[in-house]
Chains A and B, each alone.
Chain A
Amino acid sequence: MAAMEIYPSQSADIASRTIGDDTLIMSTLDSTIFVLNSVGTAIWNAVDGKTPLSQIVHDRVCAEYEVTNEQAFADAKEFVDRLAAHGILSISDAPIPQKEAP
């Protein structure tokens, strides 16, 4: 049986901007600040609620960095879990409809 897909989705309660290779994120709920490095930024910018994490890892991490798919997925899963714990993104087992940016 194939592993269950997970679909990360950016929270609406954040401000974020990619600056160079890094991404600055601030929670509007408690003003906590996060800075993502280039790999984190590559994942973050692909998080759209409808692309499964496995595909993001395949397209954005494995295609750019020398890392096995298994290792990259494990790291990415840990990364999204940590951001989800802070309310920066949410994780679902089905695609999440997103509001398009204006």
Chain B
Amino acid sequence: MSLLDEMNEKATARGIPLSAHMDITWRCNERCVHCYLDHDGKGEMSIDEIKDVIRQLADAGTFFLSISGGEPLLRRDCFEILEFARALRFNVKLKTNAVMIGPKEAVRLRKMGIEQVQISVYSHRSEVHDAITKLPGSLRRTSEAVRHLKANDVKVSITDVLMKFNSRDAKAVKQMAEEWGVQFSIDPTITPMLNGDRSIMSLGITPAELEEIMHMEEFVGNVGEFCAPVSTVDDNVLEGYSCSAGHTLAYISPFGDVYPCVQFPMPCGSVRKQSFREIWYDSPAFAELRSVHVRDLHTCSHCTHTAYCSRCPGLAYMEGDFRGPSSRDCEKSYARTGIPSAAMARAGNRVPRAASGLVQITGLL
């Protein structure tokens, strides 16, 4: 077990929010076709409110802090927020489209000791990337930013969200990332909009394309190992949790609303009405979430994929039941192994589809 795994285990046992994800704005200078956010900036927390939340997170034991958006750099005080978090000794990652990062910004990020800058790149071709972001010149500007960051030894990771328009370019994006000397990963998951609208899900790759991707060494490493079904479901698995959301991870929106994860929009409280600590330890929503072990999942606990499934309780929540399966993850497990999940078997070996707009997510204000 690695040192980080050990600390994660301790944090889980003690109920410490080791990681937090803060969106400091939902405004954005791009309009990515698959984005799950609206871009309304009304009611965003002030710099003082954000600093207060960050201070509360430090007191609660948070170590990993992701600052994201929207495009966080659209806030003029973004650097002040990042530097404040670094002064409180957080491990800080910045999720950005990077189009506003020039040489000066890269130097400032290096000086503050940012852990990593995380950027989405959708294609090596401007006509594809820019069509997805709807910002002309965005691939050129993002590429230039990566070079500025690398020139200053800032760690960078590239994520390529796979959609029907760009999945064929993934190998070329990976090659581009290697040439830049940055980390690369793919993300085949399109998240429904936080207002419950699932229409953007149709932008995702098909099951056949997913299966192809899941069997490509470039993306998954050892295909034999990655795609081999593992049937061991023991007490350790059944007593465990699907993921860290709400256990050691919290998400805070630009409006102060607290959720288990950015992809799990179950309202747990607002830092404008209560302290973060009160929400984290006393919220009935968090308590309910933490009471659910893998053993309690009505379908997934009996599924052959349980031991290695990437089941996202947030996606399941957005399908109407966070104790239920997430159809996208059923699809992934099937694409990996060729074995239908328990939910698929129940639906006649087909991936069950959630009804459109089944869950409407509202803020707490």
Contacts of B63 in A (CB 8 A): 15-17, 19, 24, 26
Contact B89 A17 (CB under 8 A): yes
Instruction: Scan B1-41; emit 1 where CB is below 8 A from any A CB, else 0.
Output: 01110110011001010100000000000000000000000
The verdict on A81 contacting chain B, using a C-beta distance below 8 Å, is no
Contacts of A16 in B (CB 8 A): 63, 89
Contacts of B11 in A (CB 8 A): 19
Range of interface residues on B (Cβ < 8 Å): 20 to 34
User: Do A35 and B113 contact each other (CB < 8 Å), given the known contacts A17-B61, A101-B87?
Assistant: no
CB distance from B150 to the nearest CB of A (A): 15
The verdict on A67 contacting chain B, using a C-beta distance below 8 Å, is no
Contact A19 B113 (CB under 8 A): no
Q: Which of A13, A20, A99, A101 contacts B113 (CB 8 A)?
A: A13
Contact B6 A19 (CB under 8 A): no
User: Do A15 and B90 contact each other (CB < 8 Å), given the known contacts A24-B7, A28-B115, A35-B6?
Assistant: yes
Contact B61 A33 (CB under 8 A): no
Instruction: Scan A29-51; emit 1 where CB is below 8 A from any B CB, else 0.
Output: 10101110000000000000000
List residues of B (99-114) whose CB comes within 8 Å of A's CBs.
Answer: 113-114
Contact B92 A17 (CB under 8 A): no
CB distance from A65 to the nearest CB of B (A): 22
Contact B10 A33 (CB under 8 A): no
A20–B113 Cα gap in the complex (Å)?
A: 25
Contact B88 A33 (CB under 8 A): no
Contact B7 A26 (CB under 8 A): no
The verdict on B58 contacting chain A, using a C-beta distance below 8 Å, is yes
The verdict on B84 contacting chain A, using a C-beta distance below 8 Å, is yes
List residues of B (45-93) whose CB comes within 8 Å of A's CBs.
Answer: 51, 55, 58, 61-63, 84, 86-92
User: Do A19 and B10 contact each other (CB < 8 Å), given the known contacts A14-B89, A35-B3, A101-B87?
Assistant: yes
Q: Which partner residue on chain B sits nearest A35 by CB separation?
A: B3
Contacts of A18 in B (CB 8 A): 61
Contacts of B62 in A (CB 8 A): 17
CB distance from A8 to the nearest CB of B (A): 16
A5–B161 Cα gap in the complex (Å)?
A: 55
Interface residues of B (CB under 8 A from A): 2-4, 6-7, 10-11, 14, 16, 18, 51, 55, 58, 61-63, 84, 86-92, 113-115, 155
Could you jot down 18 A-B contacts, CB within 8 Å?
A13-B113, A15-B63, A15-B89, A16-B63, A17-B62, A19-B7, A19-B10, A19-B16, A19-B61, A20-B16, A28-B91, A28-B113, A28-B114, A28-B115, A31-B155, A99-B87, A101-B89, A102-B51
Closest 8 CB pairs of A and B: A15-B91, A28-B113, A17-B63, A16-B89, A33-B3, A35-B3, A102-B87, A19-B61
